[in-house]
Each structure stands twice: as structure tokens, then as C-alpha cells.
Structure 1
Amino acid sequence: MNITRRQFVRGGVAAFSVTFAAPEFLSDLARAQGARARNLVVLFLGGGNDALSTLIPYNDAFYYSRRPTLAVPAANVLQVGRDRSNVALGLHPRLTGLRQIFDAGRLALVQRTGYANQSRSHFQGTDIWATANPESSAGYGWVGRYLDSLPSPLDALVGWNTTRELPRVLQASRVSVPAIPNAAQYAFASPNGGVEAAAERNAAVRINSHVAVDRPELAFVYSSAQAALATLDRVATVGTYTGTTAYPNSGLGQALRAVAGAMVRGIGTRVFYVTTGGFDTHSQQNTNATNGAYYNLMGTLNDALLAFYNDLRNQALLEDTLVLGWSEFGRRITENGSTGTDHGAGALMMAMGGRVNGGLYGSAASLNPDPANPTLENSGADVRYETDFRSVYAQVIDNWLGADSTSILGGNFRASGISFI
């Protein structure tokens, strides 16, 4: 059986636990690199977020006629201004924190992103956005390809996946991104202490330092284990981080607390992956109810991002950080018979950070169901994409990461009108 490094990281390193004193030069190197290097946080909203409930065209009469129970009343919308097509827009009423960040000029909202013939499949859609390839979504992730482009040697903690399985967007040819869902548990649970524990550590180092050239599958295992051993002390410092603000006790909130801790401790990580799910709202979406499903989704997103934003600002790290968020597709315009929304097309992307040129990018669709409406597709059922999602990635790769987007994305997707960074 051929075992790749990626397969091992996905299935083993997430649960790997040892206690090991990393070579001091590694910690010194990470801190010497400092927190001034730019950080990218990938935020995935799993399930297909309903863009029209996040950023609301509250003056469009068709928004209300097509969503008689789900439409947010205009009086409740958090108004954020007009886009380039002069459409008045506002945020969901639960997004009070994101409204503050938007007003501060540090939140960019890119409307109607996607690609031609957009997939309505969760799995295929997720892979397409992850690989940045609508034609063939079976390759490495676009962030993984960026990591592959970096010069060697790379720090073993250059990337951090806060989930238990490696997402496609981070999959790379030569870089293994560890899965660390809980920094406090990333340790060797030995029943012994003192001299015996030290002996166990030394034995682990010796065992994993032997690379069998005639056993490539073991070479992968040992080298991956070596990488894990070398990162333990640094990750342990993140497990004790509390932050300057209170983080919500949600999966997303705690993941972002760990991300902030990694930045503050200066452990060398530059790319992070976080996710929150539940956006497949086919029924009982309850956009307006204060205890409704979508209201709660917006609360989870809002509270975690606001805590993260304020913490980084207090730590003077906000200008070094960019959060880029997306979902695998948008949702249908007309609500269904179960007071929910089905899989759609055009999606909303967001970027947040201290150097973001905040505002509204792109133009809102007219929700008139006339099949001749050029801003809609699928006989007027879905929002048609306007901005290729890869153009947003190109902005990040070129202007934030300092790499070549044409090489990483496999083509020139640079576009004007979306200079948010």
C-alpha cells in the first residue's frame, strides 16, 4: 500500500500526541520571524450560505414578494450603503459586530461571486472553490499550491488546520499541514513523569530520527512524526492563550482564539483554516426569529469574528492579518415550501483585516423573476455570478501573499473593480 504524507497527516498526525522539548533554535527561528509577516485566515461557511440573508437588498420589492416569510423587514436591516449599481444594501440584524467593522472600513463584501455553470453540489462545489478549478476539482488546493511555491526549508507549522481532517484547500504536493483542532491536547499523554517521561521523549526522538531508505512508507511516517515532535512546545504555548477579549464558546470562536494565540506567540504559522457549518438551510431557516436557525448562524459568525478582530487590534496584529471567507454556493431567491431556501448560484465573499479597503464590491442582482433579467440565471431562479471567484483569490495571492496568482491559479484572473487589498 502506498501511503502519502498527506494521507498520513490526515489520518494520523491529528491524533499524534507526544511531549517533546523542541530544539531551541526552532522556537527562536519562529520568534525571529516574528508576527510582522502577513497572516492569512481561510474561513469556510459550510453548507451554502444564503447570501441574500447576509447582505440584503432591502429596497427590492421582489425580495419581499419572493420571500414572504424569510425576508428581513427593511426597518431591521443594518444599512451599509449603496453599491456601484446604486442598490441600497444592509447586513442581517444579528451582524452588529460586522457592521462596526464595516463602518471602520475593514470589511469588504464581494457580491455575486462564482463561475459559469455553477455546481449546486456540496461536495463538488466545495472542491471547486478549494482548488480554484471549475473544470477539474480533483487537484491540490489553491492555498496548498501557494505553500508549495514557498522556498524550502519550510517551518513545520507554516500552516495550521483547526479541523480534524485536511480540507482540500490546504492539500499540497510537498507541504503537510497539521490538523490541530485543540492545541491543549496536542501533547504526549505519558502516564509517567520525571526521568521516565524524559526517557520516553528521548526514545521517541531516536525512533523517529531513523529514516529507512528502503521503506518509503515509513520514511513518510517518520518524517511526519519528526515534524510533529518539533512543533509541540510551540503549540503548547497556544493552548494557554486566553486573549484580550472574551471569545465565544463556539467551535468557530475557539478556533479563532487558537489562531490569535498562534499569532501572538509568534510560533511561525502563516496560513490558518477555520470553518463553521449549518448553512444548508432547506427548511425552517427562520431568518428573522431571534432564536431561529439562520439568526443563530449569523450570531456564531458575528461574535467569533468580532472577538478575533478586537483581540488582534489590541495586540497590534490586525494590520498583519487577512480573513478571507466564502461558501460553496449561494441559495435560491424564492423560498421553498418548507420556509427554507434550496441550492443556488451566486455567492457572497468577505475579507476582513487591518489593511482591507472595506466596502461593497460588485453589483447586486435585480430579483425580478423575468427570465430575461440578465442578473439572474436558471429561468430567474438564481443569482447569476458577476465576479469570478478566482479574481478574488488573485487579489489575495498577488497583493497580500506576494506570490504570482497566474502561476498558482493556472491563468490570469486579475480583474479591476475589486481592489479590496
Structure 2
Amino acid sequence: MKNSFFNKTVSRRSFLQDCGKMTSIGALSSIISLKMVNQVFAARPSGSITDYKGLVCIFFHGGNDSFNMLTPGLGSAWDNYVATRGNLALPQAEMHRIVDSVSGQDYHVHRRMEGVKNLFDDGDLSFVANVGTLVEPTTLSQMQNSSVKLPYGLYSHNDQQKQWQTSISDTRSGSVTGWGGRMLEILNDAANNNATAAVNLSPSGSNLFQDSGSSIPFSIKGGVNSLDLYKSNSSIKDAVDSDLEKAYSTVLQNHHEHVRARSIEQTELLETIADNTDIATPFPNTYLGKQLRQVAIYIKAQGVDGLNANRQTFFCSQGGFDLHGEGLDAHNNLLQSVSDALVAFNAALKEIGYHDKVVTYTASDFGRSLTTNGGGTDHGWGGNQIVMGGPVSGGQVFGDYPTLALGTMTDTGRGRQLPTTSVDELHASLAYWYGIENNNEMELVVPNIRNFWTSGSTQTPIAGMFG
């Protein structure tokens, strides 16, 4: 391409920031400087991080009824579950019993998640119990007395999705950047100094988790095929190329065309990678299965094609969890899909030699009410999540799994569980493994972390998650 602006020398960091931007997105955000983050860059020598780590977020849109995904074990704990859940309680005989490898406590995994049960037993996967958004440690009495600050928009899909993806719960407007995006801003120059491909890839389209303000997710939703029309229609291609060759009078116009040119170049690169990188492990032909196969392809390409990205994030998703009236059948099918996709992804990472370098975790708007509304559930608060990968201490249920009887000290009404582990603690534990230091770096990634974790501590907030 002959655009004079495109051919100007552009820094590697600017290139990677621009890779995530498509022409349909305003380019102005890429000009905005993250002043706080820039203060941290100087402490990280360029190219000083040479090991690879990938973090994969799988977001369950709608609010997963996760106390049916991971249920209590035997005896009174199971009896409380049955009494509270009523017609939503699952038959114990059909569930998969698991035993925490450290505490010896028994639980059950959903009847359609045999694959997850096997991953747990093999030490490749663990659960984190009763996680939810919190501003500060909170008891039921404090909540009832209004003596603590609560997250904005409890039980609201949009507010809670935003808070999970930003790790900011104490303001509705707040930061418009994601905690994964801020994390990459801190580490990018040190880890991805020679990277030639985007490091924040999303097979699920746009998301807030990977948005840093100066870089947004590079969408590979449905595969990298956005150039099909550009390549096949000569008149469209000529028109686009003509625009790219123009010299514009304003910085914003020039920047926009620079972004578009970089996006075309990056899309062509990723398309070539997808066409020429093979994964032998079979994946289910499902929405989530297809996304995770794409993630495996681009992780493999780091070694095969020398893309030189030592830190990457990926965002995948599965919708359909807002089951107010559809009951058990729809949830059964969703969890079957999740389980099958996780099994395939775990096997693929072992196939390509990256199992000990990648961590996958799940997130969702919130948990659900334990009591039924007749045919389904309503919006809740705390819920159970999955963490998977070689770096994770597998075969455990981290955190405090609550008693599922009504009227307990975690029941905020209708069995909506007051979280006993905060989203911030989960994110800080993941970020610490990823390479974020527990100092001002961590405070930029997880702004409220000092309400839950002491600066300088080397024991992660969720103790033992990474050994």
C-alpha cells in the first residue's frame, strides 16, 4: 500500500494498539493516553518478559445457575440443597461426585458435565465457590444496616457484566477500560516488544474485558474473513486502496486511515495463520467449541509462526443463561456444551505443548436465585466459577462454598448468595500469575484490591490457586 501516512515509521507498540481497531470504530480512543498506566511502563524494560502466558476468559452471558453446576456433596448439605431448590434440584444419582484433593470435602458436578468431572479428577481444573462483585468485604448484617458500600446495579445484567469485565464495582460510570486491557498495557512493551500479531484476540466479537482505551479487542468472530468482500470485489478494493493513498488535512483523518490500513494488514496475517495452522484434536461443532478451537490455533501459531507474543488474552462467550422460565432442560444443554468445549480445549493445549502456559477461567453476570420462580430462576449475586489449565492447582474447590439453606448468613433473599470471594480477588490472583506485581501495578489493574489484599503479599488472595 502506498499511503504515505501508512508508510511512515510507526512504533511497534502503536502497531499493536492499532491492530485491534476496525474502520467501523472511532479512532479517537486510540489517541487518548492512559496516564496512570504510562507511569508504570518505565519500570518494565522493553523485551524483558520472555516466557509465554495466555489468559482465556469464557463469559456466560445471562447469569449462570451455577449452584446446579457445582452442588453440595452428601448428608445435610445435600438435603439443604434439595429443600431450597425444590423442582430445580437435580437427582443425586445422576450427578458426578467429586472430592476436593486437599480438604477431602465432597461435591457434585452437574449430570451433563462428566468431562469437567474428569478434568477435575485429573488435576486439570478447579472451581472457585461463591464469587461475586463486591466493593469491600461485606457481611449480611452490614448489608442490611447499609454500613458498607455495595456494587452498583446488583441483579442488573448490564451493570454486573461491566463490573466483571472491568473489575470496578463502586461506580456506575467509572472506567471504560477492562481489567485485561489494563493488564496488557502494563506488560505489553516488556512482553510483546517484537510481536507481529494482535495480542488481544476475541472470537466472540467486541468486549470490555480486553479494552484498554488505547487498544481494543481484535475481533476474529466466526473466523478472520472480514476481507472476503474486499478481495473479491475489485471496485470495493480499488475504492478502499484509493482512500488509503490519500493525504488528509487532519490528524484524526490520517489516523483513521492508518488504523484501517493496519487492520487490513493484520486481518490478512491472521487469515493466513488460520488457514495454515492445524489442530488435530477434535472440537465440538458448537458456538463455544468453534471459538476455543480458534484460540488454540492462534496460541499454537506463537511458536510455529514466530509471532513473538509472550502475553495474550482471549475472550470467548456462551449466551442463553438468563433462564427465567425455561427450567432445567435448556441449562442442561448449555452446560453439556461448555463441558465438551473445555475438554477439547484442554486436550488441544496438551497437543500443542501449551498446557502449562495457559489459564482459562469462566465469568458470568451473576449467580441465580436458589428458589424457583415456578419454571426457572431469577437474577442472583454470588456464583461458582471454573479455572482450568496446567498452572492451576487442580482438583480443588477454592473459597467458601455456602450452606444452601434459606435464612443463612449468606442468604440475601430467595437464596441469592452474598459472595464470599470477590471478583477482585479472583482477578488479582489471575493477574499475579500473569505477571502483574502486587504493588501499584496491581492497583491499576484491580483498583479496589487493597480492600481485599495487602500490598506486597506473595500469597494470592485465593490462596493456593497456583500452588
Q: TM-score, normalised by structure 1?
A: 0.82
Once the two structures are superposed, what CA deviation does each residue of 1:202-237 show, in whole Å capped at 9, x if it has no partner? x96785376646241441342243243144123322
Do residues 131 (structure 1) and 172 (structure 2) align? no
**Alpha-carbon separation, structure 1, partners of 2:23 and 2:82:** 45
Amino acid at match of 1:302: S
Q: Aligned-pair distance for 1:112?
A: 0.9
Among 43, 54, 62, the residue aligned to 1:47: 62
Q: How has the CA–CA distance of structure 1 residues 64 and 85 changed in structure 2, closer, same or farther, with 3 Å as cutoff?
A: farther
Among 281, 302, 311, the residue aligned to 2:323: 281
CA contact (8 A) 1:108 1:352 kept: yes
User: Percent of counterpart pairs with the same letter?
Assistant: 23
Once the two structures are superposed, what CA deviation does each residue of 1:330-368 show, in whole Å capped at 9, x if it has no partner? 001111212x11111111122111111111111221122
CA contact (8 A) 1:84 1:363 kept: no
Q: Aligned-pair distance for 1:44?
A: 0.4
Q: How has the CA–CA distance of structure 1 residues 185 and 353 changed in structure 2, closer, same or farther, with 3 Å as cutoff?
A: same
User: In the alignment, what sits opposite 2:203?
Assistant: 162
**Alpha-carbon separation, structure 2, partners of 1:239 and 1:131:** 33
Q: Aligned-pair distance for 1:163?
A: 2.2
Q: How has the CA–CA distance of structure 1 residues 377 and 210 changed in structure 2, closer, same or farther, with 3 Å as cutoff?
A: same
User: In the alignment, what sits opposite 2:11?
Assistant: none
SS at match of 2:58: strand
In structure 1, runs of 5+ residues without a counterpart are 14-31, 287-291
Q: How has the CA–CA distance of structure 1 residues 272 and 83 changed in structure 2, closer, same or farther, with 3 Å as cutoff?
A: same
CA contact (8 A) 2:19 2:259 kept: no
Number of residue-to-residue matches in the alignment? 386
Once the two structures are overlaid, the 10-residue window that deviates more, 356-365 or 403-412, is 403-412
Q: How has the CA–CA distance of structure 1 residues 137 and 145 changed in structure 2, closer, same or farther, with 3 Å as cutoff?
A: farther
SS at match of 2:370: coil
Q: Aligned-pair distance for 1:99?
A: 1.2
Amino acid at match of 1:110: V
User: In the alignment, what sits opposite 2:335?
Assistant: 298
User: In the alignment, what sits opposite 1:392?
Assistant: 426
Q: How has the CA–CA distance of structure 1 residues 34 and 135 changed in structure 2, closer, same or farther, with 3 Å as cutoff?
A: closer
Among 241, 255, 260, the residue aligned to 2:291: 255
SS at match of 1:385: coil
In structure 2, runs of 5+ residues without a counterpart are 1-16, 27-46, 135-149, 454-459
SS at match of 1:40: strand
User: In the alignment, what sits opposite 1:367?
Assistant: 404
Q: How has the CA–CA distance of structure 1 residues 214 and 417 changed in structure 2, closer, same or farther, with 3 Å as cutoff?
A: closer
Q: How has the CA–CA distance of structure 1 residues 83 and 102 changed in structure 2, closer, same or farther, with 3 Å as cutoff?
A: closer
User: In the alignment, what sits opposite 1:21?
Assistant: none
CA contact (8 A) 1:285 1:293 kept: yes
Q: How has the CA–CA distance of structure 1 residues 192 and 325 changed in structure 2, closer, same or farther, with 3 Å as cutoff?
A: closer
Q: Aligned-pair distance for 1:45?
A: 0.7
Q: How has the CA–CA distance of structure 1 residues 308 and 190 changed in structure 2, closer, same or farther, with 3 Å as cutoff?
A: same
Q: Aligned-pair distance for 1:137?
A: 4.6
SS at match of 1:9: coil
Q: TM-score, normalised by structure 2?
A: 0.74
